Amino acid sequence: MTTLATLPLWCTLGVLLCITLASYVQALTGFAFGLIFLALVGVFDLIPVAVAANAVTLITLSQTCIHFREYPLTDDWRLIRPAIWPSLVGVAAGLALLYWLSDSALYVLKVALGVSVIGSAALLVMRFAPRAKIDAPGSFALTGLLAGLMGGLFSTAGPPLVYKLYRQPLSLPVIRQALLVMFGLSQLVRLGLVLITGQFTPASVAYAVLAVPLVFLVTRYNRRYPPKLSVMAVSRVAAGLLFMAGASLIATSW
């Protein structure tokens, strides 16, 4: 069992550095914390991917609760309802796939994570052209299934949902609320499944607890000293970090 006590000091410090960098990218872009964190710990082989993903689950749930305490939920989230049940099925399938690949084909798991990270990098530099009307429920259901699969595997359901919602004729507050509802529900189900199957370790809790003050400090720093760059430049820098992390992860996996 992986615990903080069994890890070298340099390894724990490396994980904290990964959390800090991932938090900064999250503060700049609004998403991608989990992907950056998982990619970095995977590249440097600091902790098992499953342990890191479980920590991300707790961090995401805490971020969601904090947000909805400050910004109460409205009825706008209902547009995402067709995606909810398929996403929860995807979470269960993705989690089962994570445990299977972790035991039998770890390199395949890391390659899949690398591809997801590179895909997220592409999302950051793409210009989304909103559609004239909301997509059909079946389209949301398919997106929810893909997002749930990624959420179960890597505790990061963002890329399919971000692409789908930013193509809809919706305001940014509505998009943010719909994303957080989906993230919160999928992570809650994922946490329950992990606890039931006995795959949750104390190390995941410890890293999540350590991450909370780091995320707070990085967010506050970014708010007080925002980078003197345009939105497009920030997106490109973040996309570059994601691409390098994803490509490195794929390369080292082989």
Give the pLDDT score at 187: 84
Nearest alpha carbon to residue 208 among 97, 57, 72, 71: 57
Print pLDDT tens along the chain (254 aa). Answer: 555 555 667 788 888 898 888 878 776 666 677 778 887 887 788 888 778 888 888 887 877 777 677 677 777 778 888 988 999 998 998 888 888 877 666 677 777 777 877 877 777 677 666 677 888 889 899 988 988 888 887 777 777 787 788 778 877 678 778 888 888 888 888 889 888 888 778 888 888 888 888 877 887 787 787 777 665 676 677 777 778 777 877 777 66
8 Å CB contact between 249 and 113 = yes
Give the pLDDT score at 199: 76
8 Å CB contact between 241 and 36 = yes
Give the pLDDT score at 155: 74
Around 228, how many Cα atoms within 13 Å sit in the side-chain half-sphere?
0
Rg of the chain over all Cα atoms, to the nearest angstrom: 17
For residues 79 and 195, give the distance between their C-alpha atoms in angstroms, rounded to a whole number.
Answer: 30
Counting Cβ atoms within 10 Å, is residue 96 exposed (0-12), middle (13-18) or buried (19+)? Answer: middle
Q: Checking phi first, is residue 130 left (phi over 0); if not, alpha (psi -120 to 50) or beta?
A: beta
Percentage with pLDDT > 70 across the chain: 86
For residues 44 and 6, give the distance between their C-alpha atoms in angstroms, rounded to a whole number.
Answer: 17
pLDDT tens, 162-196? 778 877 887 767 877 888 888 888 888 888 988 88
Give the pLDDT score at 141: 92
- pTM, two decimal places: 0.74
